[in-house]
């Protein structure tokens, strides 16, 4: 079902400081900040050639990453995003197997303007999984 690793996301307490570290210390190709109020985060993507790193900072009062950062105040690995060709088919298969699709269970438009869903970390070995429909 899954294809390429689209991105690895890291939750950070200070987006600008984290981006500067990747740019200035690691010489990475760092994108512009993007506010995604409908997702409760601000993001910066870093292109590493074979995949991307998504830096995440909470945005607004009900950010889904607020509790994570309270538990991990220095930041930490937050989710993996894999590409899928058909997200509705993926939801059907996964829900049929008892996996929990977060939120209302429907795809939402993600940072790349494409449909995304999230799967509960407790169903995938303590790792939050994002699926993004690419190439349809």
Ligand X SMILES: C[C@H](C(=O)O)C(=O)SCCNC(=O)CCNC(=O)[C@H](O)C(C)(C)COP(=O)(O)OP(=O)(O)OC[C@H]1O[C@@H](n2cnc3c(N)ncnc32)[C@H](O)[C@@H]1OP(=O)(O)O
Q: Which residues are catalytic?
A: 130
Structure tokens at 90: 């993926």
Contact 136, 86 (CB under 8 A): yes
Nearest by Cα to 17 from 1, 30, 36: 30
Residue 44 Cβ vs ligand X, minimum distance, rounded to whole Å: 11
82 near ligand X, rule: CB under 6 A:
no
In the complex, least distance from residue 79 CB atom to Co ion, rounded to whole angstroms:
6
Closer to Co ion by CB, 9 or 55: give it: 9
Contacting residue, 22, 82, 117, 130, with Co ion by CB under 5 A:
130
Q: How far is the CB of 94 from ligand X (least distance, A)?
A: 15
Q: Is 60 in the site for ligand X (CB under 6 A)?
A: no
Contact by Cβ (8 Å): 36, 9:
no
118 belongs to the binding site for ligand X (CB under 6 A) = yes
Strand pairing partners for 52?
7, 47
Query: 116 and 75 in contact (C-beta within 8 Å)?
Result: no
Measured over the CA atoms of residue 82, residue 83, residue 84 and residue 88, the dihedral's sign is positive
Could you tell which of Co ion, ligand X, none binds residue 65, using a CB distance below 5 to 8 A set by kind? Answer: ligand X
Which residues in the 54-113 window bind Co ion by CB under 5 A?
A: 54, 81
Other CB atoms within a 10 A radius of the CB of residue 92 amount to: 11
Note the residues at the interface with ligand X (CB under 6 A). 9, 36, 39, 41, 54, 56, 64-65, 67-68, 71, 78-79, 81, 102, 110-111, 116, 118, 121, 126-128, 130
């Amino acid at each position: 079902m899954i294809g390429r690793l689209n991105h690895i996301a890291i939750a950070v307490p200070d987006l600008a400081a984290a981006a500067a570290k990747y740019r200035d210390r690691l010489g990475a190709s760092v994108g512009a900040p993007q506010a995604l109020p409908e997702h409760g985060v601000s993001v910066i993507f870093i292109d590493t050639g074979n995949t991307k790193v998504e830096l995440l900072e909470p945005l607004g009062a009900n950010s889904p990453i607020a509790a994570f950062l309270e538990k991990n105040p220095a930041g930490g690995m937050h989710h993996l995003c894999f590409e899928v060709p058909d997200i509705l088919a993926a939801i059907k298969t996964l829900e049929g197997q008892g996996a929990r699709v977060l939120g209302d269970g429907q795809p939402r438009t993600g940072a790349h303007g494409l449909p995304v869903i999230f799967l509960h970390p407790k169903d995938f070995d303590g790792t939050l999984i994002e699926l993004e429909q690419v190439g349809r």
